[in-house]
Structure 1
């Protein structure tokens, strides 16, 4: 049988559906755009015709995770803006970008002079995007696949957490992980516009910026979002 398109995937000569190559798909179907509120950085960015549903496994059905990695959320934007405005925050330090998505925060840290950057992301498509986005901006970022919050505390100097408190269960796991990081002497910075499950009692505001909140679909608008230290 000749190769045929099947909902964006292909059929091989045996009629078996094949997943698209993720890197090739991102390059072909996403736009390279300057990041709202952080125009120094360019990322592969989703648009209405991207067809990101084609990257979901066939057996995922309605359980396929949303492609959060393809958009820039306010918490990540405010951390990236802060690192570029105040590079001494990360210069010469080892940084973990937790819940990295597109890699925006880690890329900003690398551009600001971090000595090493790890970017942890649970979505394998996002892990691929992080590599592409880092190369696009000429920096080195090591993408780590999977949920690191249940594992050992990494050998880093600072953990950057962008917008991970939109869900109660996730927020609880992240908070427990950050507790372990702080106990090891690691500095923790949280970027967030005030999501529902932000642990306010544990946070002290460092600074505030008005940034876009692309994750809600309103890229043209900005809202005050804060960088907090976690204690």
Structure 2
């Protein structure tokens, strides 16, 4: 078996994906896998020794596609603004923001392979400008700048409510950003752990999805505005 510690992430990504447009966002091209299971198996065989998570970066998930579509259709939401895309995955949402002329976009991921995928996807779309990659868990970090204003004008999260602990941490952190004054948007295709309240529905999309990733060919996906918690 190839030593995963010596593998070039960019070579692995390019060798196991094809550059193509996501179904709902034809304005962009991403390095995407044709099928989930073969890449999952290859990742386990070749890369598991270094503890990498599954290759979520190789797919344009429904929540991210809907959020990216919403931004491309409403560039005023991010144009000229400072944007944070958390749990960025393939980078589809971050790249949509750059396509829509955001002033500065941080794509945040804890998976080193995802960060590489975002970088090469940005290069493929000539969108490296104003993109910053941050590879750490940010969910306990402050939400206010030194002047007391929000650190970010816009905070985005696509498809992050599929596991309960992650969804709870993420939602609480996003609400803190909303309370600080940021516009906070979440794309969600009906995952089990999406919060039941404190959300404002902004848009809905039918996102084509492969059967080896989802349980249907189309996922009804909503873009939500995350609201700060208010005292009763």
Classify the TM-score, shorter chain: 0.7 to 0.9
Shift of 1:153: 2.3
Q: 1:216 to 1:193 in 2, by over 3 A?
A: farther
Secondary structure of the residue that 1:210 maps to in structure 2?
Answer: strand
Instruction: Indicate yes or no: 2:184 matched with 1:194.
Output: no
Shift of 1:101: 0.3
Instruction: Indicate yes or no: 2:25 matched with 1:35.
Output: no
Shift of 1:81: 0.5
- Aligned twin of 2:132: 142
Instruction: Indicate yes or no: 2:10 matched with 1:20.
Output: no
Q: Deviations over 1:90-139 (max 9, x none)?
A: 11111111110010000001101111111111111101111000111111
CA distance in 2, matches of 1:45, 1:156: 29
- Aligned twin of 1:161: 157
Shift of 1:227: 0.7
Higher alpha-carbon Rg: 1
The question of whether the paired residues in 1 share the 8 Å contact of 2:108 and 2:133 is answered with: yes
Matches within 5 A, 1:50-69: 50=39, 51-54=42-45, 56-58=47-49, 60=51, 64-69=52-57
Q: 1:53 to 1:197 in 2, by over 3 A?
A: same
Shift of 1:68: 1.2
TM-score after normalising by structure 1: 0.85
TM-score after normalising by structure 2: 0.85
- Aligned twin of 2:172: 176
Q: Deviations over 1:185-221 (max 9, x none)?
A: 1110111111111112010101111112358525992
Q: 1:113 to 1:18 in 2, by over 3 A?
A: closer
Structure 2 regions of 5+ residues with no counterpart? Answer: 145-150, 228-232
CA distance in 2, matches of 1:215, 1:102: 19
Q: 1:177 to 1:127 in 2, by over 3 A?
A: same
Q: Deviations over 1:53-95 (max 9, x none)?
A: 35524254xxx52211111111100000001111111111111
CA distance in 2, matches of 1:101, 1:138: 18
- Aligned twin of 2:213: 217
Structure 1 regions of 5+ residues with no counterpart? Answer: 1-5, 11-16
Q: 1:149 to 1:213 in 2, by over 3 A?
A: farther
Q: 1:18 to 1:101 in 2, by over 3 A?
A: closer
- Superposition RMSD on alpha carbons, in Å? 2.1
- Aligned twin of 1:13: none
- Aligned twin of 1:125: 113
The question of whether the paired residues in 1 share the 8 Å contact of 2:66 and 2:205 is answered with: yes
Instruction: Indicate yes or no: 2:69 matched with 1:73.
Output: no
Shift of 1:170: 0.4
- Aligned twin of 1:116: 104
CA distance in 2, matches of 1:214, 1:175: 27
CA distance in 2, matches of 1:139, 1:59: 30
